[in-house]
A and B are shown apart, each in its own frame.
Chain A
């Protein structure tokens, strides 16, 4: 160990913090953690696996299906059933992306390097959102084609160019990505892993179930506007009563996520780290 090391080698750096550099830093954080890859692999396997099993089962049921059900037959929708899992895995990973920094104490180093703070949350959302979108696109498309293979023998499948199908498939990927971003926003808001995961699961999966306990007209009036109900309207081919149309529903869910982000950003700036 020599004294020369304290002073950096010649041609020293004179960097300053820029948004691009913070993005690079956040990408390094996401890509140097093993759980990112485990979650990604698990999400793909389960999404595609569920598509195969579900579509195989539905192709068997189809023959005995009531005519009204056949009229609303949604072969692309059945292949996307895996989103029920991927919304949780991606959402939880989103929570952990933020709360992992708080539980480890890394956040102090992070905010020490970027004291402006909000570029960190922005970069986390951008990097995680991009990664989640790519992963979801791959997962949803692969699940779609795997599922249609199971229908092919009975000629009850569909194609990506059929009306509404592309919207269903890519919409599912968009929805899962937004749940991931919702996880980031909730994680930044709550700053604790158990708290963040509880909030996410509570809002995405439990809230719609609890709402079912309401009187019928209350439920019909309220349920369409619950975050995950609104967000998943885009994943179905046919519109059903007491739900929003695909894009308005998706837009409403996006607003919920954006609102949570706004609050998290303001608090990040104001709270002690």
Chain B
């Protein structure tokens, strides 16, 4: 269980994280979404006490991260893949972290096997590819068998097989009853992995809801109608809350009327419909819609 209450981080007059309040529950994967520069990494750093909040509080099971006597058993974190001395082997890197908590080297070998790095465990980590470094970061996070995992962009730099591996691993960790908090700037990735979403933009909370609720509320649902009498149908559908746009296929894209209503009106007019379909916006579109005003770096059209 992770909780942020009015969590705020200011650098000079720039506010990176602005009174964020949310909680992350155990047993499910919670996606932490936001455009680049939204404050995701800063928030995660504050959760594990690396950055001190300007205001507010971040807690792990009711206590500040730093107040836990064995933090690696509470939270396993991967905040940046390359957090390894390039001259040290993967195994030695994990041994130095394990030593702080008296974690036996048997466990070090277990996590190395778990992330599939056994064949390169004694090689200097400086020569690792981004994907291998990412796996080593996950191994370090799992070292203490923590109840909570915080992973910043874990799929970055992974090949498709690696992405699938992370996805499966995260779901399995959540199914074991752990709290899993994963950041990403890709809604599509979170749609496949997460059940719950915390979405931020410019440091502010935009949404804290289930993936299903998010799609339902944020999506602009429209109906696509294909008919040879498009102009007639267009004039008859018009109303105060109705917007009708066309696309290059000549179809009408209607919002403000349900498919049923359109069907009845068409039937009343004797208009032939070739197609009448509900259009559900993809998660990615919904996410872009939600965060378009809160994007830190936006191209000027």
Residues of A in contact with B (beta carbons under 8 Å apart): 1, 3, 5-9, 12-18, 21-22, 24-25, 28-29, 32-35, 100-101, 104-106, 108-116, 270, 272-273
Does the CB pair B103–A15 fall under 8 Å?
yes
- Of B73, B97, B102, the residue contacting A109 (CB under 8 A) is B97
Q: Provide the residues of chain B in CB contact with A111, threshold 8 Å.
A: 49-50
Q: Provide the residues of chain B in CB contact with A114, threshold 8 Å.
A: 71, 100
Which residue of B is nearest A23, CB measured? B99
10 A-B interface contacts by CB (under 8 A):
A6-B169, A13-B104, A16-B101, A17-B100, A18-B102, A25-B97, A101-B85, A104-B85, A270-B52, A273-B51
The minimal Cβ–Cβ distance linking B32 to chain A, given in whole angstroms, is: 18
The minimal Cβ–Cβ distance linking A91 to chain B, given in whole angstroms, is: 20
Residues of B in contact with A (beta carbons under 8 Å apart): 45, 48-52, 65-66, 68-73, 77, 79-80, 82-89, 92-93, 95-97, 99-104, 106-107, 110-111, 113-114, 116, 140, 142, 145, 169, 172-173, 176
Q: Lowest 5 CB-CB distances: which A-B pairs, in order?
A: A15-B102, A115-B66, A15-B101, A25-B99, A32-B92
Known pairs A22-B100, A100-B85; A109 contacts B172 (CB<8 A): no
Known pairs A16-B70, A17-B71, A111-B50; A106 contacts B100 (CB<8 A): no
Does the CB pair A28–B96 fall under 8 Å?
yes
Does the CB pair A15–B87 fall under 8 Å?
no
Does the CB pair B101–A105 fall under 8 Å?
no
The minimal Cβ–Cβ distance linking B148 to chain A, given in whole angstroms, is: 12
- Of A18, A32, A273, the residue contacting B96 (CB under 8 A) is A32
The minimal Cβ–Cβ distance linking B86 to chain A, given in whole angstroms, is: 6
- Of B71, B93, B95, B101, the residue contacting A115 (CB under 8 A) is B71
Known pairs A1-B113, A8-B145, A104-B82; A24 contacts B87 (CB<8 A): no
Q: Provide the residues of chain B in CB contact with A25, threshold 8 Å.
A: 96-97, 99-100
Known pairs A109-B97, A115-B66; A6 contacts B92 (CB<8 A): no
The minimal Cβ–Cβ distance linking A270 to chain B, given in whole angstroms, is: 8
Does the CB pair A105–B83 fall under 8 Å?
yes
Does the CB pair B145–A12 fall under 8 Å?
yes
Most A CB contacts (10 A, CB to CB) among B95, B100, B103, B104 go to B100
Known pairs A25-B96, A272-B50; A8 contacts B87 (CB<8 A): no
Known pairs A105-B80, A113-B100; A6 contacts B69 (CB<8 A): no
For the complex, give the distance between the alpha carbons of A34 and B83 in Å. 18
For the complex, give the distance between the alpha carbons of A1 and B224 in Å. 47
For the complex, give the distance between the alpha carbons of A115 and B88 in Å. 22
Q: Provide the residues of chain A in CB contact with B93, threshold 8 Å.
A: 106
Known pairs A17-B100, A32-B89, A272-B52; A109 contacts B66 (CB<8 A): no
Which residue of A is nearest B51, CB measured? A272
Does the CB pair A113–B71 fall under 8 Å?
yes
Q: Provide the residues of chain B in CB contact with A32, threshold 8 Å.
A: 88-89, 92, 95-96
Which residue of A is nearest B137, CB measured? A109
Known pairs A105-B84, A108-B79, A112-B77; A3 contacts B172 (CB<8 A): yes
Q: Provide the residues of chain A in CB contact with B107, threshold 8 Å.
A: 8-9, 13
Q: Apart from A5-B113, A106-B93, what are 12 other A-B pairs with CB-CB below 8 Å?
A: A1-B114, A7-B145, A8-B110, A9-B107, A13-B107, A32-B88, A32-B95, A100-B85, A108-B45, A108-B50, A108-B79, A109-B83
